[in-house]
Amino acid sequence: MILVTGGAGYIGSHTTVVLQQAGYEVLVVDNLSNSEANVIDRIEKISGKRPAFEEMDLVDTAKVDALFTKYPIEGIIHFAASKAVGESVQKPLLYYRNNLQSLMNLLESMNKHGVKNIVFSSSCTVYGQPTEDNLPVTENAPVQVALSPYGNTKQVCEEILRDTIYAHENLQGVALRYFNPVGAHESALIGELPIGVPQNLMPFITQTAMGLRQGLKVFGGDYQTPDGTCIRDYIHVMDLAKAHLIALERFMKSNFKKRFEWFNLGTGTGSSVLEVIQSFEKMSGEQLAYEIVDRREGDIEQIWAETTIANEELGWTSELTLDDMTASAWKWEKYYNEVLKPQAEA
Ligand code: UD1
C-alpha cells in the first residue's frame, strides 16, 4: 500500500488515480484544509476503486505513527503542505510548522516501521531566477536564497530529507522539483480547486472565462522576453502524476544510483503568459478579458527546465502539450461549475 499525503489535493488526486491504475492500493491522508472530501468519491469514479482515506493532520506525531501501525505502508508520496507564497510571508510560523513538522513526522515513523521509500513534492522555486548561463535549468544549477517562507520550506525540507536518508541506510528517497503544474484529468472529475481568489495563472484564466472573475491581470509587459511577459515551463498534471509512479518504482525496484536523488519535472519548453492566453482562447473558443498591469512583486522573469537528466536517468518524458493543458483545465472548470458543484450543493 502506498501512502499519498495530500491525496485529496490537486496533484495528489491525479497521482492517486495513476497509482491505482498501475495496480497499487492507496491510502490517502489529508486534513482537507485546501480540498474537498468528495474528491475521494470522484477518484473512485475514475479508477473504479475507492482509496482508503484518513482525515488527519500530519503535524500530529502520535497520529502519524499510528497510521504506520494500522496500514501496511510500503512507500510514501508526500504532497501535503501549505503552498500559498503570499500567505507564507504573512504567517511564516504556520508554514514552517506545517511543512517541516509533517515531513519530520513521516521520516521518523518510516524509519521506525521499516518503510524505505519516499517521494517528496518539491518545486523549481529552489532555483530562484537562474542566471542566463543556467537556463534552461539543470538539476545541478545552484539553489538560491528563497524569496518566501514557502520557498524556504521546500529547500529546508529537501535538506531534512537528504540528511535523514544519509543517516539511516535503510531509507531512500527522491525530491521532484515541479515547474508549473496545470491542467486536469481528461474525465474532468478532478482538477485544481483553489479556495478563494486564485493566485496562479491557469485557474485565474479559467475562472475569468467562466465569468467568476472580472478580468485577468497580466503581471508585467516589460520583461526582457520576446513578448515582454514572464516565461514559465507549464507541465500537465497527468504527466507529473506519471513521474511520481516512475520515481516510486525506481526505488521499489532498487533501480537507483544514489539513495537521495532529485529531478526537474518540466517539459523543457518555456511559454509566456500571452502564449498561455492564446492557447486557452484557441482551445476554448472563448475571448478572454485581460489587461497588462504592473509587475507582481517577487516574480522571476523566466525559467524553464532542462529535461535531459529526468528523461535519461529517471526514464520519464512529458507527453502532453500546452494546448492539452489549457483544454483540460477549461473542461474541468466548466464541468465543476455546471455539474459537480450544483450536484454537491443539492
Ligand atoms: C508560483 C510561486 C511558486 C510556486 C508555484 C506553485 C510565486 C512568486 N511563485 O509560481 O513558488 O511553487 O506558484 O504553483 O508566487 N500571472 C499573471 N496573472 C495572474 C497570475 C499569474 O500574469 O493573475 C503570471 C505571473 O506573473 C507569472 C505566471 O503568470 O509570470 C505564472 O504565475 P503563477 O501561476 O502564480 O506561478 P509562479 O509565479 O511561476
- What is the average pLDDT score of the chain? 96
Helices in the chain by DSSP H: which ranges?
10-21, 39-47, 61-70, 85-90, 92-113, 149-167, 201-209, 237-252, 273-284, 308-309, 322-335, 341-345
Cα separation, 104 vs 160, whole angstroms: 8
Residue nearest to atom 8 of ligand 1 (CA): 299
Q: Is 150 known to be catalytic?
A: yes
Q: Residue 200 pLDDT > 90, yes or no? A: yes
Residues 6+ apart with CB under 8 A from 338: none
Residues in a beta bridge with 305: 137
pLDDT in tens, 47-83: 999 999 999 999 999 999 999 999 999 999 999 999 9
Mean pLDDT of 241-257: 91
The matching CATH number, chosen from 3.40.50.300, 3.90.580.10, 3.40.50.720, 3.40.50.460, for 2-345 is 3.40.50.720
Quote the pTM value.
0.97
Contact 77, 119 (CB under 8 A): yes
Pocket (CB within 6 angstroms of ligand 1): 83, 85, 123, 125, 151, 180, 199-201, 204, 216-219, 230, 232, 273, 296, 298-299
Cβ–Cβ contacts within 10 Å for residue 66, how many?
14
Distances 113 to 73, 110, 129 between C-alpha atoms, Å: 9, 5, 40
Predicted local distance difference test score (pLDDT) of residue 254: 79
Cβ–Cβ contacts within 10 Å for residue 334, how many?
15
**Residue ranges covered by each domain of the chain:** 2-345
Residues 6+ apart with CB under 8 A from 240: 11, 14, 15, 176, 178, 181, 265
Predicted local distance difference test score (pLDDT) of residue 314: 96
Residue nearest to atom 26 of ligand 1 (CA): 219
pLDDT in tens, 168-199: 999 999 999 999 999 999 999 999 999 889 99
